[in-house]
Homo-oligomer: A and B are copies of this chain.
Amino acid sequence: MDKVVTFGELMLKLSPEGYGRLIQAHQLNVEYSGAEANVAVCLANFGLAVSFVTAVPDNVLGDAAINAMRHYGVEISNIIRKDGRLGIYFSEKGASQRPSKVVYDRGNSAIALATEIDFNWDAIFHDATWFHFTGITPALSDNAATLCLAACKAAKNKGLTISCDLNYRSKLWSREKSNKVMTELCQYVDICIANEADAADVFGIKAEQCDVNNGILNEQSYLSVAQQLQKKFGFKQVAITLRESISASDNNWSAILWDGDNIHTSCKYPIHLVDRIGGGDSFGAGLIYATMAGFDPQHALDFAVAASCLKQTIEGDFNLVTVDEVESLVKGNHSGRISR
């Protein structure tokens, strides 16, 4: 069976129950997550072999983080133990006009401190066919950016398909730094994934007639964005998720896929959100799964959008739906009737 490798940070996520704010919290829910870890779990959950590459400290938090990956079937033999912290992010869920908030406490993490000698990419990619990372990983530290580059080169050498979700995080690096680093990394990327704001943030490619902050998105404009991205880097495919934020409780969700020849557009799901975090990651995972499964581009896009729509109806960063559940939504069963 084909195997996917993802590479990134694995963090402790601490969040209040329900719609509680951090300032009110007497208890915090514990999860272990991260963009690339989420992709790995989604893929394992769909039945693929997937190995997650990271570094965690050699303490009980590192142990628990590894267990969380193992729980859903992610292969963990490429997770190394190293000095440094386990990064933490505190997250509170927004509602209606109140946005979700994230507080990062991820400095000096084991993965940010890792260096090239920590990972043997040739060995890691030995039996793999796909490599996935996101723009968060190189943003962690210069070391991490160097590691990403090494990974991309090794993956390319071995003939793996490389996908990258731009995933711009303003709290981790500036647009300028991001532009510089991602420009180099994107030379190696086959499939580029972005959300409605990433291309502008990282590469300054803006969608015309759109107001991302007010949830006004124009599908046509994003086609142009996709094409510009593809032209600039020679990606085989560019997929862009389009989140229309009506409020923190209700979003519309769709995506487009440009495969170099044709533009594919998905239906638009009006989502009454349970938890939107991990939505983009599950889109990426859906696209990887569908592509590896040989779906045609339209089906692949539809699968990825449906998968990530369902993620947003689930608590936590992981997309714990089955392939059957996704396909049922792809086929149009969106009315939520109980099967019994």
Contact = CB atoms under 8 A, between A and B. Distances in A.
Contacts of A30: 25-28
B339 A99 contact: yes
Interface in A33-68: 59-61, 63-64, 67-68
A85 to B, nearest CB: 6
A21 B97 contact: no
Query: Within the oligomer, what is the number of copies of this chain?
Result: 6
B97 A85 contact: no
A248 interface: yes
Interface string A307-323: 00110111110001100
Given A27-B28, A67-B23, A336 B272 contact: no
A276 B335 CA distance: 13
B271 A96 contact: yes
A250 to B, nearest CB: 7
A29 B88 CA distance: 16
Nearest to A73: B70
A71 interface: yes
For A24, A95, A337, the residue with the greatest tally of chain B CB atoms inside 10 Å of its CB is A337
A269 B24 contact: no
Given A27-B29, A97-B271, A98-B336, 5 more contacts: A61-B103, A96-B273, A99-B337, A100-B336, A245-B335
Interface residues of A, number: 85
Given A95-B313, A99-B338, A315-B20, A67 B60 contact: no
Contacts of A306: 97
Contacts of A200: none
B26 A98 contact: no
Nearest to A27: B27
B310 A97 contact: yes
A68 to B, nearest CB: 8
For A23, A306, A339, the residue with the greatest tally of chain B CB atoms inside 10 Å of its CB is A23
B94 A338 contact: yes
A269 B108 CA distance: 42
Contact of A99 (B27, B212, B215, B336): B336
Contacts of A90: 60-61
Given A213-B335, A336-B249, A340-B102, A320 B23 contact: yes
Which 5 interchain pairs have the tightest Cβ spacing? A248-B336, A245-B335, A98-B313, A71-B71, A95-B313
Given A170-B340, A247-B272, A272-B247, A21 B70 contact: no
Interface stretch (A1-9, A147-155, A288-296, A326-334): A326-334
A169 interface: yes
Contact of A245 (B18, B85, B312, B337): B337
A169 B340 contact: yes
Contacts of A68: 71
A337 B99 CA distance: 6
B18 A18 contact: yes
Nearest to A94: B336
Contacts of A71: 67-68, 70-71
A100 B333 CA distance: 12
